[in-house]
Amino acid sequence: MLTDVVVTGDNGSIDGQGSVWWDWFESRSLNYSRPHLVEFTSSDHVVVSNLTFLNAPAYNIHPVYCSYVLVQNISISAPGGSPYTIGIVPDSSNNVCIEDSLIKVGYDAISLKSGWDEYGIAYDRPTKDVHIRRVYLQSTSGSSIAFGSEMSGGISNVHVEQVRIHNSYSGIEFRTTKGRGGYIKRIIISNVELKNITMAFGASGDCGSHPDDNFDPNAIPILDQITLQNVTGSKITVAGNFTGLAESPFTSLCLFNVALTIPSTSTSWTCSNVVGYSESVSPEPCPELKSSHSNSSSFCYSILNSYGKSTDL
């Protein structure tokens, strides 16, 4: 419950010395969750800048229930084998900007979240109006940019641009499952360079666990209006795996000007329960991403749509 908070330094370091926590976590000897390096709760106008974060036990920077957050010129590092270490986690927060930063961690580099099952649905605080730009990301076992799977309060209006993702398991991934409710929508990701990635893009409707048995299995999440454009990739094993829900197919998943180099023996795309549109995409996407909509501007989300305009991408 703070206002106007600045954590900064002349490239000073905060070292979480997380190795003991990683050992406890992997040996299943913890009866509680691991701590995070820097966490802000219910605060406004927060700046974190010009710092190096090392060896977090779990998350490095975690703004939760916050507004107007700037993370700028940050370096985050944890060993590739550190379990589920995550860089920056905007969680049920709005008006967040992450820019000019380098993140190399064990799991997700940047992970957007907004509450877990019935608790997130009841609290009803989305993560929205997020801008991520000019970042270099590496995630050994997770995704360099992840949405969910805890997204029950909703995630929307996210703009990601000018991103370099290297040496990662997954480049960009959308995660959810039955019982989450909520939505992931109005997301645009552009000008991305991928190199040495196992799976360039992913979207899964069957990802993540539940906090307890009180979740509502009929709380079906929505994934809609996702645009990926101006993406190049080399040394890619799988182009994309998009697996929606039969009860709630993923819709308006749009790809423009995407060029990925993958082995000829690999399966390029896997799609089920998704509806999308594609243009100038290589390798050739699956049929579910070849909608017959003649006017992509009304079907696909673009930056100008967010200002109330409809225009071709």
pLDDT of residue 304: 61
Question: Digits of tens for pLDDT over the chain (313 positions)?
Answer: 999 999 999 999 999 999 999 999 999 999 999 999 999 999 999 999 999 999 999 999 999 999 999 999 999 999 999 999 999 999 999 999 999 999 999 999 999 999 999 999 999 999 999 999 999 999 999 999 999 999 999 999 999 999 999 999 999 999 999 999 999 999 999 999 999 999 999 999 998 889 889 899 999 999 999 999 999 999 999 999 999 999 999 999 999 999 999 987 777 999 999 999 999 999 999 999 987 665 565 689 886 665 444 333 3
pLDDT of residue 308: 45
Domains of the chain from N-terminus onward: 2-308 (2.160.20.10)
pLDDT of residue 130: 98
Residue 135: exposed, middle, or buried by beta-carbon count in 10 A (0-12, 13-18, 19+)?
A: buried
pLDDT of residue 293: 60
Q: DSSP string covering 119-154, please? A: HHHHH---EEEEEEEEEEEEESSSEEEEE-SS-TT-
**Long-range contacts, stretch 292-299, CB < 8 angstroms, 24+ apart:** 296/254, 296/256, 299/252, 299/254
pLDDT of residue 209: 87
pLDDT of residue 34: 96
Is pTM beyond 0.85 here? yes
Query: What phi, psi does 72 have (nearest 5°)?
Result: -140, 135
